[in-house]
């Protein structure tokens, strides 16, 4: 799963990207469309606790991929977002919209003052306009459609008109609309940008309070962090970072919460496999069945799925072993219809 880091110029996108990746990409403007990618482990204290219990040879966290995407500036115009930039954005599963709140005289801004409400609205408008243009073009083609089943064409007209109303009249992103599985299949190839989930990241100065942006973010989650400080912490050696956090009474970097929230944003959950060789977090979509979870581990496990032995993380963490969980009766045997829950510890029985 890929999340695109977007934002207006000088909002601190690359600072956040460097904090995520412990990288050192230049934070100055390049003036061109660029994309930097990195895969980041999802911090999870449950994995740490399971590793304490099993002392495995290997510990593997869930992972999420981020793309630092330069090129959006809030002024796409009547033609919408074009070319390679639109192609990159359409491939994302969701967005982290970095919004500048920090004051820094050395960093110019798009206007004379810092205004996060304005900047959020500007980016939302750019994405909305792009989708609206694509929908209007589709409606024009449907109006002169020939050769296809009339009932199918009429259903598409109704669907795209509903999307048009949401954007043009209600000025709401497409992710707010109730869409059936059939609807989603019909629009899957369009890569609509406002259909994708959004996490607004308020980029603060050190010690700066977060502003209230709820008036312009009713359809987006919001997280606030001190971008430059988070980047500096991330670039420290682990032992020095630990001392720094302890000195300031910080339990964990705010960055960790942002990673977890962005992971959850795109409808993902983690289940675990445990043993002396490896403790590992696996990723599936929410609502995945036990066979689908087995397929995340290996396709053979899904093909030959018989049953899954399942125990909740809280039960295993408190009891300390699978044997104790079995003895207490909290280890369950589940079949093909079982829906995996976040934190499940799963052992798959299969035959191929």
Residue 78 has pLDDT above 70, yes or no: no
Residue 110 pLDDT: 52
In b/e form, how buried is each residue of 199-222, taking b as 16+ CB within 10 angstroms?
bbbbbbeeeeeeeebeebbeebeb
Burial grade of 248 (CB within 10 A; 0-12, 13-18, 19 or more): exposed
Query: What ranges in 266-332 are assigned the alpha helix state H?
Result: 290-297, 299-303, 313-319, 322-328
CATH topology of domain 287-350: Ubiquitin-like (UB roll) (3.10.20)
How many Cβ atoms from other residues are within 10 Å of residue 129's Cβ? 20
Q: How much is the pLDDT for 191?
A: 93
pLDDT-derived band at 177, boundaries 50, 70, 90: very high
The pLDDT tens digits of the residues spanning 135-155 come to 999 999 999 988 889 999 999
pLDDT at res. 173:
96
pTM score, two decimals? 0.90
Of 278, 283, 300, 279, residue with least CA distance to 291? 300
Specify whether the backbone of 343 is left (phi greater than 0), alpha (psi in -120 to 50) or beta: left
Q: What digits encode the pLDDT tens for the residues 184-227? A: 999 999 999 999 999 999 999 988 999 999 999 999 999 999 99
Query: What is the reported pLDDT for 303?
Result: 96
Q: What pLDDT shows up at residue 185?
A: 94
Q: What is the pLDDT of residue 196?
A: 97
Could you give phi then psi for residue 329, rounded to 5 degrees? 80, 20
What percentage of the chain exceeds 70 in pLDDT?
95
Q: Is the pLDDT of residue 301 over 60?
A: yes
User: Up-side HSE of residue 248: CA atoms within 13 Å toward CB?
Assistant: 13
Q: State mean pLDDT over 250-259.
A: 88
């Amino acid at each position: 799963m890929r999340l695109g880091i977007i934002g207006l110029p000088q909002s601190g996108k690359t600072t956040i990207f460097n904090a995520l990746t412990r990288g050192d990409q230049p934070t100055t403007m390049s003036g061109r469309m660029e994309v930097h990618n990195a895969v980041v482990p999802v911090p999870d204290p449950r994995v740490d606790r399971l590793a304490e219990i099993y002392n495995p040879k290997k510990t593997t966290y869930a992972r999420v991929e981020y793309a630092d995407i330069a090129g959006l500036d809030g002024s796409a115009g009547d033609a919408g977002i074009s070319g390679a930039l639109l192609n990159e954005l359409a491939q994302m599963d969701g967005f982290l919209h970095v919004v500048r709140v920090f004051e820094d005289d050395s960093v110019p801004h798009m206007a004379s003052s810092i205004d996060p409400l304005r900047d959020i609205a500007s980016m939302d408008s750019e994405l909305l306009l792009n989708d609206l243009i694509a929908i209007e073009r589709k409606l024009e083609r449907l109006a002169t459609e020939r050769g296809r089943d009339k009932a199918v064409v009429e259903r598409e007209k109704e669907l795209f008109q509903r999307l048009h109303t949401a954007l043009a009249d209600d000025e709401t992103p497409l992710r707010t609309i109730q869409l059936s599985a059939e609807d989603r299949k019909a629009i899957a190839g369009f890569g609509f940008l406002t259909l994708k989930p959004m996490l607004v990241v308020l980029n603060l100065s050190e010690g700066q309070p977060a502003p209230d942006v709820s008036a312009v973010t009713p359809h987006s989650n919001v997280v606030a962090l001190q971008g430059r400080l988070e980047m500096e912490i991330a670039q420290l050696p682990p032992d020095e970072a630990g001392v720094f956090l302890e000195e300031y009474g910080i339990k964990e970097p705010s960055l960790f919460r942002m990673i977890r929230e962005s992971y959850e944003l795109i409808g993902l959950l983690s289940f675990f496999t445990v043993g002396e060789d490896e403790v590992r977090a696996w990723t599936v979509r929410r609502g995945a069945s036990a066979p689908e979870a087995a397929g995340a581990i290996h396709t053979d496990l899904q093909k030959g799925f018989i049953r899954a032995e399942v125990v909740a993380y809280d039960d295993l963490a408190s009891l300390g072993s699978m044997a104790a969980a079995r003895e207490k009766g909290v280890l369950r045997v589940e079949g093909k219809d079982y829906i995996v829950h976040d934190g499940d510890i799963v052992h798959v029985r299969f035959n191929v």
